Amino acid sequence: MSIEIQVIEPNDIFDGEQAGKYYPEIEKMIANKINMIVIDFKNVTFMDSSGLGTLVQYLKMTRDAQTRLLLCSLNQQIFMLFELTGMDRVFEIFNGREELEQKIIKARQ
């Protein structure tokens, strides 16, 4: 089985409005049977609770479709939001894309 990975790279502020813009893209990825969707936060400076809420919706969508949703490159503020809400134990979070790719490759061996 081949692994299909798609990456989303949001920019600046990840609030409910900005996060919601990725809904059609994620729906299309699920419809196209993508195995893993990576959201790389390297260019995101701030996330609020509505952005996190939208991510939870995306997690439910992807789980229902048996697609993995992976997050990487969270800055300190964003990671703190995940820790305070306990979402750091719900989402698969990686320090950066390199770490994520290494773990995926290792898991395939």
Q: What is the pLDDT of residue 68?
A: 95
Residues whose CB is less than 8 angstroms from the CB of residue 32 and which lie 6 or more positions away in sequence, other chains included: 4
Tokens 């996190």 correspond to 52
How far apart are alpha carbons 87 and 98 in whole angstroms?
A: 22
Q: What is the pTM of this model?
A: 0.93
Q: How confident is the model at residue 1 (pLDDT cuts 50, 70, 90)?
A: low
101 compared with 106, residue with greater pLDDT:
101
CA distances from 63 to 33, 36, 59, 60, 108 (A): 12, 11, 6, 5, 20
Maximal CA-CA distance, the chain: 39
Domains and CATH numbers, the chain: 5-108 (3.30.750.24)
